[in-house]
Structure 1
Amino acid sequence: MENQNNVTEFVFMGLWGNKQMELLFFFLFLFCYLAILVGNFTILLTITRSHLIKQPMYYFLCHLSLMDLCYTSTVVPRLIRDLGAARKNISYNNCMTQLFTAHWLAGVEIFILVSMAFDRYVAIVKPLHYMVIMNWQRCNLLIFMAWAVGFWHSIALLLVVLNLPFCGPNQIDHYMCDVKPLLKLVCKDIRVVNILMIANSGMVVVTVFLVLLASYILILYNLRTHSSTGRRKALSTCSSHIMVVVLFFVPCIYIYILPVGSENKDKEISVFYTVIAPMLNPLIYTLRNMEMKIAMQKVWSKMTHSNFK
């Protein structure tokens, strides 16, 4: 059957229908986005302009901050604009671009979190072999693989959606173009597509989350042999990673493992991984990390000193 697509644009229904609520959240999300920009740029600047860039843990953290900046910039600026706009419309092509870009960058972020967990596992379980295992060639390979796997996940999702017919309703019950709200507008039986979507997004997120949990359980188990000082330092680092993983993965699992059509709070829950997690990540990694605090002070004093020369 030929794919009939009569839709040239979509209209977002947004988070809330209440105009006063939207105005309030316009300023709230604007503040959140500015906090995301400042927090993640601070981490990027601190790591790239200090000795920390030579350590794999901070090298991965640098890439995580870059992903947070890029990912939120594909979603949040439009959300802010729409909160202040009378009509929240997006063209079909721009919608598909947002779908592809958001899933690609989110996929990269997921596998960077896996790389960070692998780095901590090697550092704690195999400390004597750390520099051999986590050499620069392997670190760069892990980042390249994150980009490649994220791309193939996103392109597979996009190709499925591009072949679906949208022939009438064009109101997306969301604030961004995501696969589940789009599938609700498809004018054909989507049972097979639903299974493909859960396999592509849902099962991948669940599997990666379980792998991460298993790695941290192994790390905690192996900490028994460490000294109390080493244990405290390792627990501080790992607890930061665990907090970031939970903030990102739990909402994702809730959204992508449930089939389309199930009554849930998808758009409200998705705020956690599109806005809240990227905003809190810099705080989690700086407030709980003495090494980062010292590096930030050094970089800041260097910059202010050079400016006053």
Structure 2
Amino acid sequence: MAAFALPVPFTKFLSANKMADNKKYDVIIIGGSYAGLAAGMALGRALKKVLIIDSGAPCNLQTPHSHNFLTQDGNTPAGIGNLGKQQVQRYTTIAFFEGLATHGRKTEKGFEIGVASGEIFQAEKLIFATGIQDAMADISGFSECWGISVLHCPYCHGFEVKGEKTGILGNGEYGYELVKLLSNWTNDLILFTDGASTLTAEQTKKLKSHHIPIVEKQISNLEHINGYIQHIHFKDSTKVSLKAVYTRRPFKQHCQIPEALGCEITQEGYIKTDTFQETTVDGVYACGDNTTRMRTVANAVAMGTTAGMAVSKKMIFKQFEAIA
């Protein structure tokens, strides 16, 4: 979940915050969506000078509604993000920069972050709330349906399509696991392997016992109306009508700066962090989708708040101990 584009120019924010000539901050947050905004709020309330750099490219840009977030259930992702931004803007120690962070380096006093437009900003600590970038399947219509009717999480979207005819695009172990999970929300399931099945004999037998068809035909395209799937079309010119499709896609980190700074990446591709969201590089923190497979708005907010509090506490203690 990288950030939402900011509706007010950066210069206006800086002028209002009396930081127009200041390129030195206590903390720089890269990514201004839910996790980044939550981290910013925690730091602003701790009186820290913060810069939030946002490129305006959230991974849930197409998603019409957000769910499973107490007090915000059913609201739009953009609406939640805009409200969060308005609340963070009340803290006068927080500034925003609309642009893409392109590189960073460790310095004697902390870190430098460079952006595409050429500016260089400095801070003692960094927080990356930059999300991940999903790889779209090479199927016509797939990307247009992603987040709308081609879904990745039943806890986020399953209730809205409960009981409906639902497809699972997958194969082998992960396809089987996804079928098992989705069986909670609907009995009308079809597994599409998009080619020869790699299920084990035991898995195939279990799906048949649940009357779940396995379709091994190769997919040609997804027919949809404004992202809402109508049919899956196959290369043999047949088709199947559906309301939703679930699948899991490979991904990459939306921002490469953490790895360039030396942050360890897990085998799954996430930035490794401890309980307080600190990475394996001292002074660098990460929160949100770039650190966990738990891709929910509520979780991103919780992780951002944790990161903001942990960073500020470490800075407060350091400042206190530095006075003789």
Question: TM-score if structure 1 supplies the norm length?
Answer: 0.32
Instruction: Using CA pairs under 8 Å that are at least 6 residues apart, name the structure with larger relative contact order, 1 or 2.
Output: 1
| Greater share of helix | 1
